[in-house]
Structure 1
């Protein structure tokens, strides 16, 4: 099913290797980051009255922070806004042209046009009422025993989670499926099975003793009743209580977010026959047949304890509770393509109550986002052909090679690492497959039938088409060149089992990449993103994979101890950042991203210096090259979030908020020299306290 919870919580999120909300500036251009043709950095965003060594984030972004308002339809805003808005504008032009044209029947253009027209026809959606979903609700109502319940739970499964590439663990179905090379089965592509079944973002929302979480639980149960009432479901209050009580039990069966993020604890493999023994309760043959997984011989049981616990709940909890739960989640996960009263109630809870966003995005913008979800490659192909020149692809590839070389040089210089560990690390750098702009081959949507007048049917058919696309990979060799982002995504990602990187076309534009700006700017902005993604291959999780993408320990005990000590020091550094008096950043949860920031920024800096070929960069508008490099980096992390969204982010996200990621510079020696940061300055770290990961 479509991601309703996180799409709203992170409604305009720009993610660097995971779901992090660090987007945008303002709806008007006055507060959006501007990019000069040579300087690159935005001087107007800075507050140069602040001492860089006391608050580097405020020095780089202080004026922007003061004058920027979060748009009413967003939970956060940030420096990625310029790229996001420009990309959205381009998509708007592409889709408008397709919709106004006469595309050939059966073509991707016709699918785009039909999907868009159906989604935009809110009058028709309202007139249809609950009729489009009636057949699904009837399936649930007809369940009479646990075998039939198991069958329906299997029918509902979708490929809607991604634990490795996007740290996306959320699905409203009881389980989620993800398909790639198994963590414990090198060379063998398996279906991964993950925990699911919650309507709120994750288990802490149900189980935390925090008073704010308790308030959200009350609001959630009221919302469930309100949605069922809007859908015309009788006895809504009693059913909402049953649903909530069941989800409390589901949450208790779930692994924690920290456990989910630890790949080494998630490499369990179960043969299909083992499910009945290890997770009794579900009728597994009926489940697998309905899920079209009866041909798979083995599974990556990513959350083995949760699979056991959730299966037991299927056996122990009343059928009526499960039928109510299925009804609610089918409506909840498709609220945007059901009548307006349902859509509005859904936003009021997920958008406003959970993330503090007062206003829903306009329908046309939501339609573009939905197209990215269901026909992303079709839109992306048109986007790449029109907006991403070969010259930009070549320039970014050159930067990637330079940063890879800089990273390898740092590994070679490590004096504490054993030769055998170093050899595998270097091999891993050398063999990283880098995708820039767009994939070499495009998705075939031929099996996806799209109606011009049934938005609900299009959503369900799109989910099934994606599911079939993913299941088709099972048992085949892994495609190292597979892309997990569409070209129009303002983002980048590291793919650990593929030992690969994706840099979509949409992130390769200002304020990240500007071919008119000098190298200091580009290396500090897109170069740090590139370095970050390369470094994810060597963060606390990525370092557990070898050069082939296999999960194995290729470290000596002494080397691993050194690496873990550096990680512990970095976690402690982030534990000290406190956005609210009662809430601190979770250094352990965000450790992987923070390691990638430190190592990636250092590699980008080294590559920048190497690009100068021994010369010094010119001083431009009063800033040295090194100063421009670090300011550019800090400005890419300009972030403003609503309090509700910020709290949700810290509770559930593996990325620290952007204002703290900007402080990565504290660990880079060159930053101290560039801004004359000395002992006594608030951000000063003694040389032996600066975390040095990978060199």
Structure 2
């Protein structure tokens, strides 16, 4: 059983902006009629050189704001897409790499976090040792798979840390009582990104990927010296196709009402007796839990039948391949290159692999992220930014309170519950109050593979230890240098790491309209996740409870369905469209975030400037507000990466995060004088307003 090492993300509950951001400083929130210093982007926070004025705002606002940038920017050869988030991520990489190299050069004492950071990076960069060792470090794990010649032995390996399995198992806060933990059990085990890659026989891209994936499986087995690789690869592909056929779709798997299936261990064991959950949970230290949260019961039941019907030797081949693939980056360059050729080049269209040193930075940032994050925060996140973000969040909450109070389709009882939930939101800005303790983790300077295995065990043991105690609300889903933002409905927390609190999201010298249209809308987006099609099913304390009246629920569903229908028509590449149901939560987050931010911006103008914003370079305050939102979503995609995103990413492609939102906002029509006949024009009765 595959151990899941990300808490609430395991239950598909962590709603991220998909790369979103924040940033602030209490002195920068002025109308900026007299800016003391130029903004980092342009003079007032927007890159006018990236616009294409040949496009009318009402025909394609995304290209009006970003067209020249889109036409003249090239995706770097080692990336699958490129945009504002990528630029920030590359900048953060440089800053983190500087920290790592400084720590390594200081020759820190053994056992210190500085030693672990330096030696993990050093073991990754020690390619001579990696090549010399070849497959040797992985051999004990491969030997264990080869020796598992009975169904019982295979099940024991499924429950072993570091070994692959056809299920995902992890530890998350219990939605019935979020002060304690429970165990999550969900479908898993596929090497391609999603079930559609296996079962959709009409899409030519998927057919090409299936063929390439089968060849990749054979290549990995060949590199390991395993005979009859083509036949074994065909067997593995056939097994994964069977698993994919019983998997739930992405849209169904994000429906809280369907995936919330708590059951005691005896019921779980009876659901899938072939998988011997009672023994597996005991082996993993997960026994003694009152109820287990089973996300896709029918898929688990069917996976158990597939397990029973599949010969042991096929499961051995399956586990051998997936172990090699999971650890390709920790083995010799032949495995690493083969893995990139398929997952990077074929599935995402990336032309060449990223430099090894940058991949090493991301390895350390991912596995020891809070260790380097502490230094990153000291250097790159001033206290003034944290204070400004707190003020911005408060402004957005106030704006949403007002909107909820005036919402005509919400009855008073539901409104009272909504306002209570909003009042208990916990914003977390910049970095955690308590840093992770890595003292139990051993890192060696010349043992990359061993380091990876010890990190797996360390992370799993941390989760198991969590199971025994109350939920720690101070834990963060990612380190502070991350370029993202998120909402966790189980904790009712919105999290804005330091990495995203910089231009184009926030700039202390930018125009207030830019800051509200960028970071303000992102704050609103994350707040909105607490009230989107899934987040609204959680109460103020994170527990699952239906607090909506029948009439108000119908009003919400009608509006959400109309928004989803709009997105169902958007097609960024031939033969594929956005899935309006799968992307519903993020689209509602974008729409609500812009509505909240616009209200907050005008409340700010009322408080400081008599309700009026200056005209800057010919653009009104409202126009600059909407341009800021468009600038945030500048992005180019390789076609293969876009196929993957349309299949697996709950966020809509960037052009629809811009055009799909503004065409529903009356204020945008007024700001740019949008008229009937413009391509993006929607009649007032067709515009969707939820919050």
TM-score interval for Structure 1 and Structure 2 normalised by the shorter chain: over 0.9
The answer to whether the Cα contact below 8 Å between 1:384 and 1:505 also exists between their aligned partners in 2 is yes
Q: Quick one: distance in 1 between partners of 2:42 and 2:393?
A: 22
Offset of residue 475 of structure 1: 4.6
Q: Quick one: distance in 2 between partners of 1:510 and 1:3?
A: 34
Matched, 1:154 2:159: yes
Offset of residue 22 of structure 1: 9.0
User: 1:576 matched to which residue of 2?
Assistant: 569
Offset of residue 49 of structure 1: 2.4
Matched, 1:203 2:186: no
Q: Quick one: distance in 1 between partners of 2:165 and 2:492?
A: 30
Offset of residue 37 of structure 1: 6.4
Summarize the alignment of residues 407-426 of structure 1 with structure 2, pairs less than 5 Å apart.
407-426=400-419
The answer to whether the Cα contact below 8 Å between 2:634 and 2:654 also exists between their aligned partners in 1 is yes
Which of these residues, 215, 220, 225, is aligned with residue 232 of structure 1?
Answer: 225
User: 1:678 matched to which residue of 2?
Assistant: 675
Summarize the alignment of residues 539-554 of structure 1 with structure 2, pairs less than 5 Å apart.
539-554=532-547
Summarize the alignment of residues 138-287 of structure 1 with structure 2, pairs less than 5 Å apart.
138-156=143-161, 173-209=165-201, 210-287=203-280
Which of these residues, 628, 631, 653, is aligned with residue 632 of structure 1?
Answer: 628
Structure 2 residue matching 1:93: 3-state secondary structure: helix
Q: Quick one: distance in 2 between partners of 1:250 and 1:426?
A: 43
Matched, 1:427 2:420: yes
User: 1:527 matched to which residue of 2?
Assistant: 520
Which of these residues, 318, 327, 330, is aligned with residue 325 of structure 1?
Answer: 318
The answer to whether the Cα contact below 8 Å between 1:150 and 1:284 also exists between their aligned partners in 2 is no
The answer to whether the Cα contact below 8 Å between 1:36 and 1:42 also exists between their aligned partners in 2 is yes
User: 1:403 matched to which residue of 2?
Assistant: 396
**Alignment CA distance shift 1:386-1:2 (3 Å):** farther
User: 2:91 matched to which residue of 1?
Assistant: 86
Summarize the alignment of residues 335-374 of structure 1 with structure 2, pairs less than 5 Å apart.
335-374=328-367
Matched, 1:689 2:683: no
Q: Quick one: distance in 1 between partners of 2:681 and 2:258?
A: 36
The answer to whether the Cα contact below 8 Å between 2:3 and 2:169 also exists between their aligned partners in 1 is no
User: 2:455 matched to which residue of 1?
Assistant: 462
Structure 1 residue matching 2:466: 3-state secondary structure: coil
Which of these residues, 605, 618, 622, is aligned with residue 618 of structure 2?
Answer: 622
Structure 2 residue matching 1:273: 3-state secondary structure: helix
Residue-by-residue CA offset, 1:159-202 (whole Å, 9 max, x unaligned): xxxxxxxxxxxxx6322233222234454321111211111111
The answer to whether the Cα contact below 8 Å between 1:22 and 1:78 also exists between their aligned partners in 2 is no
Structure with the larger RCO, 1 or 2 (CA within 8 Å, 6+ apart): 2
The answer to whether the Cα contact below 8 Å between 1:377 and 1:442 also exists between their aligned partners in 2 is yes
Matched, 1:67 2:72: yes
User: 2:555 matched to which residue of 1?
Assistant: 562
Structure 2 residue matching 1:178: 3-state secondary structure: strand
Structure 1 range deviating more: 112-121 or 313-322: 313-322
Offset of residue 157 of structure 1: 6.8
User: 2:638 matched to which residue of 1?
Assistant: 642
Summarize the alignment of residues 492-503 of structure 1 with structure 2, pairs less than 5 Å apart.
492-503=485-496
**Alignment CA distance shift 1:633-1:580 (3 Å):** same
User: 2:372 matched to which residue of 1?
Assistant: 379
Q: Quick one: distance in 2 between partners of 1:46 and 1:383?
A: 33
Q: How many residues align?
A: 660
Residue-by-residue CA offset, 1:362-401 (whole Å, 9 max, x unaligned): 0011001111221111121121122111100000110000
What are structure 2's unaligned runs of at least 5 residues? Answer: 6-13, 22-38
Structure 2 residue matching 1:452: 3-state secondary structure: coil
Q: Quick one: distance in 1 between partners of 2:482 and 2:603?
A: 30
Structure 1 range deviating more: 135-144 or 359-368: 135-144
Q: Quick one: distance in 1 between partners of 2:481 and 2:662?
A: 30
Q: Quick one: distance in 2 between partners of 1:229 and 1:294?
A: 39
The answer to whether the Cα contact below 8 Å between 1:22 and 1:637 also exists between their aligned partners in 2 is no
User: 2:49 matched to which residue of 1?
Assistant: 44
Offset of residue 575 of structure 1: 1.2
Q: Quick one: distance in 2 between partners of 1:178 and 1:280?
A: 20
Q: Quick one: distance in 2 between partners of 1:573 and 1:37?
A: 34
Matched, 1:290 2:283: yes
Residue-by-residue CA offset, 1:125-184 (whole Å, 9 max, x unaligned): 1110100101111111111322211111011479xxxxxxxxxxxxx6322233222234
Q: Quick one: distance in 1 between partners of 2:406 and 2:601?
A: 18
**Alignment CA distance shift 1:514-1:2 (3 Å):** farther
User: 2:113 matched to which residue of 1?
Assistant: 108
Q: Quick one: distance in 1 between partners of 2:87 and 2:537?
A: 36
Q: Quick one: distance in 2 between partners of 1:557 and 1:106?
A: 59
Q: Quick one: distance in 1 between partners of 2:90 and 2:239?
A: 41
The answer to whether the Cα contact below 8 Å between 1:117 and 1:452 also exists between their aligned partners in 2 is yes
User: 1:390 matched to which residue of 2?
Assistant: 383
User: 1:485 matched to which residue of 2?
Assistant: 478
The answer to whether the Cα contact below 8 Å between 1:435 and 1:481 also exists between their aligned partners in 2 is no
Q: Quick one: distance in 1 between partners of 2:54 and 2:150?
A: 70
TM-score normalised by the chain length of structure 2? 0.93
Summarize the alignment of residues 104-143 of structure 1 with structure 2, pairs less than 5 Å apart.
104-143=109-148
User: 2:654 matched to which residue of 1?
Assistant: 658
The answer to whether the Cα contact below 8 Å between 1:146 and 1:282 also exists between their aligned partners in 2 is no
Q: Quick one: distance in 2 between partners of 1:416 and 1:389?
A: 42
The answer to whether the Cα contact below 8 Å between 1:184 and 1:267 also exists between their aligned partners in 2 is no
Structure 2 residue matching 1:494: 3-state secondary structure: strand
The answer to whether the Cα contact below 8 Å between 2:19 and 2:85 also exists between their aligned partners in 1 is no
Structure 2 residue matching 1:527: 3-state secondary structure: helix
Q: Quick one: distance in 2 between partners of 1:549 and 1:338?
A: 42
The answer to whether the Cα contact below 8 Å between 2:626 and 2:668 also exists between their aligned partners in 1 is yes
User: 1:28 matched to which residue of 2?
Assistant: none
The answer to whether the Cα contact below 8 Å between 1:82 and 1:510 also exists between their aligned partners in 2 is no
The answer to whether the Cα contact below 8 Å between 1:485 and 1:502 also exists between their aligned partners in 2 is no
Q: Quick one: distance in 1 between partners of 2:463 and 2:255?
A: 24
Q: Quick one: distance in 2 between partners of 1:475 and 1:260?
A: 28
Offset of residue 419 of structure 1: 1.0
The answer to whether the Cα contact below 8 Å between 2:19 and 2:484 also exists between their aligned partners in 1 is no
Q: Quick one: distance in 2 between partners of 1:493 and 1:254?
A: 26
What RMSD in Å do the two structures reach over aligned CA positions?
A: 1.9
Structure 1 residue matching 2:395: 3-state secondary structure: helix
The answer to whether the Cα contact below 8 Å between 1:114 and 1:451 also exists between their aligned partners in 2 is yes
What are structure 1's unaligned runs of at least 5 residues? Answer: 5-15, 24-33, 159-171
User: 2:35 matched to which residue of 1?
Assistant: none
TM-score normalised by the chain length of structure 1? 0.92
Structure 1 residue matching 2:428: 3-state secondary structure: strand
The answer to whether the Cα contact below 8 Å between 1:19 and 1:653 also exists between their aligned partners in 2 is no
Offset of residue 499 of structure 1: 0.4
Structure 1 residue matching 2:410: 3-state secondary structure: coil
The answer to whether the Cα contact below 8 Å between 1:22 and 1:638 also exists between their aligned partners in 2 is no
Structure 1 residue matching 2:335: 3-state secondary structure: helix
Q: Quick one: distance in 2 between partners of 1:524 and 1:422?
A: 26
